[in-house]
């Protein structure tokens, strides 16, 4: 994850929030019963666009494992390349 304050750039004219910036996420969206977790912004956006049941199916899929490996590889290669993270997400849809 990237913790620099400038990585949280949410201005309309800026690059947006860095995909590796930490954010709080509900373990079970729409409820307060299951607590919170810290996840990176880019993956939280993906999760937020899916119904919970579909996301649970995705979590155990080969496609998700491949995306997570590519995400980790990109973070190690160049964690500041916004375009590369966005491309990973575009390519998996």
pTM of the predicted model as reported, rounded to 2 decimal places? 0.72
Which of the pair, 30 or 66, is modelled with greater confidence?
66
Biggest CA–CA distance in the chain, Å, is 37
Residue 10 has pLDDT above 70, yes or no: no
Percent of the chain predicted with pLDDT > 70: 76
pLDDT, mean over the chain = 81
Give the pLDDT confidence score for residue 14 in this predicted structure. 58
28-38: average pLDDT: 73
Residue 13 Cα distances to 9, 29, 68, 80, 83, angstroms: 9, 30, 29, 18, 16
């Amino acid at each position: 994850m990237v913790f620099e304050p400038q990585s949280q750039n949410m201005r309309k004219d800026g690059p947006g929030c860095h995909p590796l910036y930490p954010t709080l996420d509900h373990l079970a969206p729409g409820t307060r019963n299951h607590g919170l977790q810290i996840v990176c912004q880019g993956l939280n956006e993906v999760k937020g666009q899916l119904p919970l049941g579909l996301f649970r199916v995705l979590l155990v899929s080969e496609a998700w494992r491949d995306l997570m490996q590519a995400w980790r590889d990109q973070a190690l290669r160049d964690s500041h390349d916004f375009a590369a993270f966005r491309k990973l997400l575009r390519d998996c849809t």
